[in-house]
Amino acid sequence: MADKLTVLLVEDDASLRDWWSGSLEDMGYAVLSAGSVVEALALSRQTASPIELAVLDLGLPPTPNEATAGLELMRLLILDRPALKVLVLTGQDEPS
């Protein structure tokens, strides 16, 4: 059997994170799950194996110096892993 592809899932809402994680695992992916920008960066930087996809919540709570944590996280992840594919999601139905 082939190795599972790895997805980095970043969602601050624990119930949504659990749902996404379970769904991705059911589809055969290995999931690294994080609830914050700091946790996601640590997981990515501590994982030596490839991460094929990052699924990010655009509405992550901002870090102290950033207003758009989801986009900033995407930028930092791509700096560390230039080949990383990123899917950005949001539950917001109207612009803030």
Ranges in the chain, pLDDT < 70: 1-2, 63-68, 92-96
Instruction: Please tell me the distance from the alpha carbon of residue 45 to that of residue 41, in angstroms, as a whole number.
Output: 6
pTM: 0.86
Its sign, for the CA torsion 59, 81, 42, 49, is: positive
Domain definitions of the chain by residue range: 6-89
Quote the CATH superfamily of domain 6-89. Answer: Response regulator (3.40.50.2300)
What share of residues in the chain are helix, strand, coil (percent, to 5)? 35, 20, 45
pLDDT digits (tens, 9 = 90+) for 24-40: 999 999 999 999 888 99
